[in-house]
Amino acid sequence: MKAYLLRLLSDHGMIFVLAALCAFFSFVTLTQQSVTGDAAVDQVVSRVKSGNTVMLAVRPSSDESAYADTVAARVQAAGVTVAAVIKGSPSDARAALEKMQSAGTRLDAIITAEESARWLVITELSKDFPALGTPVIIKPDSYRWPNFLKGDNLLNIANQISVIAIIAIGMTMVIITAGIDLSVGSLLALAAVLVSMFIRDYAGALTASTGGMLLACMVAILACGFAGAFSGLMITRFSIPPFIVTLAMMLVTSGFAYTVSAGQSIYQIPDSFVWLGRGADVLGIPNAVLLMILLYGVAHIVMTQMRIGRHLYAVGGNREAAHISGVPVDCVLMFAYVVSGLLAGLGGVVMASQLKSGSPTYGGMYELYVIAAVVVGGTSLSGGKGTMLGTLTGAFIIAVIQNGMNLTNVESYTQKVVLGTVILGAVLADKLRRK
């Protein structure tokens, strides 16, 4: 039993770390929440009686303004008199109350949102405006719930990490072969620039068709795949260390991205292009997240059920032994770097879709975040060990830490210290595990 638990902890320990981080940030972001949307409207409308006179007071935000308009329409349809609808500040509410008091109006209720219910002019209404009567303050119910566990925030975490997680699939294959690919961040920028440039110059710019945009995406992704193939060729044919080759490719592809774009962002892209990066057609889940899940499913099958997956592990575990056993080592390495390049290109297309533009500045430091996700997920830098589930877990660990620190107002420079410590701890854990 003890051996089983140790093996479980060794193989899937980062899942427990992710769960612990989620629990921690859920606890520290626990706060009072208000019912929103149609549920909030239904609650307040049900508490107003026909024949009552009411005032609505909310802040001027789009959500609260829409809430006030909907409530006003609903209560008026039910026979309620709406004396005023205030969408502004406490001083605006005070001015409206003074006007109603001068006119001899008596209020039965004041309908507010969560924040406006705490305005001093509302809480001390009976003292400052006795002629208005004793109106009831009606606001949506509140409850305690972590900001971290809000549905929108969880989807935001997944959407923000999707590009890094997609690129990390290829990086996992490369690192399992005991290699490294430092060019993925620059390839991302190159793909974003190329897809935007081809749409602008050859597909019709703002009037580009779906076919034209798909062709532009293919060109950008294949260009990055070619760059990955070149890196693989230098590594396999000339035995140049992967670190040096991919460092050189990082500089070359970054320079090429700046050259073809003249150092400028490219914005002439149709609105429909954002479907991949911003769309959410299935259960409100972002399309980029669905793409990420699909790719991880395919990658898991490749690594666990197909011969190429076994060959990747064999090459990383012992290259000489793999060669003697008949594994085509050079082809396996080439496969890993081509896949890494293709997925970096796909990541660039997704980012261009999310931001509706292409820029040579995209992808800065992304190679480090991608490597961090892979290493934190349990893939050994020495090669021969790692899983796609582990990499996905590592990507989410980084995303959860960043999101949690943002929610708790941790400064950006402190966030870098924390992330660096996490990466160092993951590498140290790998070393201790192998000993």
Output the domain CATH number for residue 162.
1.10.3470
pLDDT at residue 3, rounded to an integer: 60
193-221: pLDDT as tens digits: 999 999 999 998 999 999 999 999 999 99
Overall average pLDDT of the 255-265 stretch: 95
Give the residue numbers spanning the domain of 226: 151-434
For residues 178 and 322, membership in a common domain is answered with yes
From 145, 162, 196, give the residue that closes a domain.
145
Average pLDDT over the chain, rounded to whole?
Answer: 91
For residues 163 and 209, membership in a common domain is answered with yes
pLDDT at residue 419, rounded to an integer: 82
Measured CA to CA, the distance from residue 147 to residue 431 in angstroms comes to: 36
371-405: pLDDT as tens digits: 999 999 989 888 999 999 999 999 999 999 999 99
Nearest 5°: the CA angle 129, 132, 134 is 95
Our count of domains for the chain comes to: 2
Q: Which long-range contacts (CB under 8 A, 24 or more apart) does 284-293 make?
A: 284/155, 285/155, 285/158, 286/155, 286/158, 286/159, 286/162, 288/159, 288/162, 288/163, 288/350, 288/353, 288/354, 289/155, 289/158, 289/159, 289/162, 291/162, 291/166, 291/350, 292/158, 292/162, 292/165, 292/166
pLDDT at residue 411, rounded to an integer: 86
- The residues that bridge with 56 in the sheet, in sequence order, are 85, 111
pLDDT at residue 357, rounded to an integer: 95
For residues 299 and 377, membership in a common domain is answered with yes
For residues 408 and 332, membership in a common domain is answered with yes
Q: Are 162 and 286 in contact (CB under 8 A)?
A: yes
CATH code for the domain of 74: 3.40.50.2300
> In this model, does residue 281 exceed pLDDT 70?
yes
For residues 94 and 175, membership in a common domain is answered with no
pLDDT at residue 7, rounded to an integer: 61
**56 inside domain:** yes
From 107, 130, 145, give the residue that closes a domain.
145
Going by pLDDT thresholds of 50, 70 and 90, the confidence category of residue 435 is low
For residues 196 and 132, membership in a common domain is answered with no
Measured CA to CA, the distance from residue 277 to residue 357 in angstroms comes to: 11
For residue 324, the tally of other CB atoms under 10 A from its CB is: 9
For residues 87 and 206, membership in a common domain is answered with no
For residues 116 and 234, membership in a common domain is answered with no
Tell me the percentage of the chain whose pLDDT exceeds 90: 67
Pick the range with the lowest mean pLDDT from 40-49, 75-84, 361-370, 417-426: 417-426
pLDDT at residue 289, rounded to an integer: 96
Q: Is the pLDDT higher at 167 or at 204?
A: 167
Overall average pLDDT of the 229-233 stretch: 98
287-304: pLDDT as tens digits: 999 999 999 999 999 999
Q: Is the pLDDT higher at 12 or at 308?
A: 308
